Structure 1
Amino acid sequence: MTHAPVHDAGGSKPPLRQRLIGSFRLFFILFIYLWILLGLFVLNQNFERLREGETLALQGFALMNALVLGKVMMLAEHLDFARWLRTRPAIFSILFEALFCTVLFIAFHFVEHWVIGLFRGAAAVDEGPTATVAGVAIIAVVLFVSLIPFFAFKNVTRIIGWPRMRHILFGRPDQPIPGG
């Protein structure tokens, strides 16, 4: 999962259409990953409410948060905060990016609850697992660990290239790996 290059080999920018398609593809991948992740959080945290038939509203919450957090994560991807770690082993970049996004998502969660409290009143804010320090810590750990595979895939793909990664994932094992 790499985004479109800022400059091609000749030093010029790729056409706008190519950059837009690359950005949309990145957002779509981020959105799907986050929707699955947040959807699983919703299923886990709201098991009782799910038995009462509230699945659509709860999954709508996961969908809307995945859209917003996908955009936040896409912005963080484009700002490339882990660029300074590229000369170090990939694990440093993987763990840093997972931690950075975890902190970003937790902060966004609190801002979201603050805004909801402004519009609906403090009583309307859910007092779920994030109401305690231990709850926030548990969610942060689960989120951090859940983001590691995403950033591992991204960083390994950046290092070995998409053609090799595609062959590893979808090619036949008895065929030679391109560029390898």
Structure 2
Amino acid sequence: MAIPRRTVRQVIIEETKKFLVVAFYLWVIFALLVEYKSVILAEENVSIETRGLALINALALGKIIVLAQAFHLGEMAEDVPLIYPTLLKSALFSILLAIFKILEVGIVGLFHHRPFTQSITEIAGGTLKGIICVTLIMFVVLIPFFAYAEVRRVLGQDQLRHLFLHRRPVQAD
């Protein structure tokens, strides 16, 4: 049976949908972290720019995730239990996101004529402990994201979407 070839338009639409889902997931997480930080620090006047930055970060890091997925980062053999690729991808992608976040704040800092060490204080205070903590939070946050992706890969995109978004028939005991 021949596999139907996708047109460029179909590929662009599919990749754009993937990107938007990833960016939306990350935006929700980043926005919640900003709100949590404001609660912890009792900052009632968190600027709109800070909240907007959560969306910009989600879009930028979402694109990094989609590109890394296109290069099959963290792909494993088909016959391994799903927990392994889920945890591997969560770990690799959280490290990748941490590296790009450090580079991003460093480049923005250079643009504003700030030294790199001062710029990275925006990431959990800029300490190694803080950066590791944020990276571990991203690792945990990415586990359900990649678990869903792995189950979708095994069951098929339409099947998992149907299971989550449509009524299921009542099973008789």
Q: Contact 2:106 / 2:120 at 8 angstroms: preserved in 1?
A: no
Could you say what secondary structure the match of 2:76 adopts? helix
Q: Cα 1:53–1:130, aligned 2, differ >3 Å: closer, same or farther?
A: closer
Q: Is residue 2:154 matched to residue 1:159? A: yes
Q: Cα 1:38–1:19, aligned 2, differ >3 Å: closer, same or farther?
A: same
| Unpaired runs of at least 5, structure 2 | none
Distance in 1 of aligned mates of 2:166 and 2:52? 36
Q: How does 1:79-158 map to 2 (within 5 A)?
A: 79-120=71-112, 121-122=114-115, 125=119, 127-128=121-122, 129-158=124-153
Q: Cα 1:119–1:166, aligned 2, differ >3 Å: closer, same or farther?
A: closer
Q: Contact 1:43 / 1:50 at 8 angstroms: preserved in 2?
A: no
Counterpart of 1:6 in structure 2 is none
Q: CA deviation at 1:168?
A: 1.9
Q: How big is the alpha-carbon RMSD for the aligned residues of Structure 1 and Structure 2?
A: 2.1
| Unpaired runs of at least 5, structure 1 | 1-8
Q: CA deviation at 1:126?
A: 5.7
Q: Is residue 2:56 matched to residue 1:64? A: yes
Counterpart of 1:51 in structure 2 is 44
Q: Cα 1:96–1:85, aligned 2, differ >3 Å: closer, same or farther?
A: farther
| Larger RCO, structures 1/2 (Cα 8 Å, 6+ apart) | 1
User: Once superposed, which parts of structure 1, at least 4 consecutive aligned residues long, lie more than 6 Å away?
Assistant: none
Normalised by the length of structure 2, the TM-score is 0.86
- The amino acid across from 1:163 in the alignment is D
Normalised by the length of structure 1, the TM-score is 0.83
Q: CA deviation at 1:117?
A: 2.4
